[in-house]
Amino acid sequence: MDELGFNKIAGAILATALGVMVLREVPHFFMHTDAPEVPVYSVGAIELGAGEEEALDLPFPQQSFVDAMDADEGANVFKKCQSCHNVEPGGPNGTGPNLYGVVGGPTAHKSDFNYSSAMNSAGYNWTYEQLNSFLTRPAAHLSGTNMSFIGLKKEEDRAAVIEYLRVNADSPLDRPEAKAAPAPEEPTEMAEGEEAPVVNEDGDVVEANVENPTADPTDTANQDEDAATEGEAVETSEDASNSEETASDDGAAETAAEEGTETNPTEDETEPQ
């Protein structure tokens, strides 16, 4: 390629780049978007979990757990555990202990297995609730256990495998009975005339102001009628008093006029003849 051809190619590339830059800047020259000094609206802090209802602490076991207790399904779930455990009567221990008769027994129920110190010192029996919690996540239920199994997340899987372990025993425990959920608290009905409690912004109940109770509209109306009746009685009494005073003044004036006539004779009678 000669020098002229190279210059043409380089010029075309530069012209194209320049044209792209011009096309990007020209719209900004004709159109301006000035942001306001004060935002039109602002978003406050977002409270996580707002409006979520607190989970009820239901007693164990619930009906759903009891319904999921199926030994046949539990045998399928137990296949996840067969690499370390077995449920054969008198069977050997593996990486984990033999689990025949474990339901209802002590935590370290096999005397010929080397349990962790945490399991040896746990000091409780494998009840349905303890087994359910342990199988959910062993390390969280018993800190220091040597069991590395992550756990069974599904409640129906835990219920099924617990039923499978229950029936594999010389004297299986009775199946658990479902416990009813606690009834929701009903709002307390207020007695007639009782005032509702005053609640402040923090949700605390504030004692009502006893010194200034709320007036009963009926009592107020009765008080107004009594006051009006007393006012009319006072006005009537004042009118009667004024009438009596006027009558007394008129009588006194007449009496004085009569006395003046008797005590003051005319000039003709007093002058000497």
Q: What domain count does the chain have?
A: 1
In terms of Cα–Cα distance, which of 165, 164, 157 is closest to 99?
A: 165
User: pLDDT per residue over 83-130, tens digit each?
Assistant: 999 999 999 999 999 999 999 999 999 999 999 999 999 999 999 999
Residue 88's CATH number: 1.10.760.10
Q: What is the CA radius of gyration of the chain?
A: 52
pLDDT of residue 261: 45
Does 43 fall in a domain?
no
Dihedral sign (CA 52, 56, 57, 58): negative
pLDDT of residue 240: 55
Does 272 fall in a domain?
no
User: pLDDT per residue over 202-233, tens digit each?
Assistant: 666 665 554 454 545 555 555 556 656 655 65
90: left (phi over 0), alpha (psi -120 to 50) or beta: left
Does 12 fall in a domain?
no
pLDDT of residue 246: 56
Give, for 205, the enclosing helix (H) or strand (E): strand 205-206
Question: Rounded to whole angstroms, how far apart are CA atoms 162 and 61?
Answer: 12
Does 29 fall in a domain?
no
Beta pairing partners, 245: none
Does 214 fall in a domain?
no
- Is residue 12 helix, strand or coil? helix
Does 70 fall in a domain?
yes
- Is residue 125 helix, strand or coil? strand
Residue ranges making up the domain that contains 135: 63-167
pLDDT of residue 183: 75
pLDDT of residue 2: 73
φ, ψ for residue 107, nearest 5 deg: -60, -45
pLDDT of residue 93: 95
pLDDT of residue 88: 95
Beta pairing partners, 125: 106
pLDDT of residue 7: 86
Does 158 fall in a domain?
yes
Does 85 fall in a domain?
yes
pLDDT of residue 55: 60
Which residues of the chain have a pLDDT value below 70? 1, 32-33, 35, 39-55, 185-273
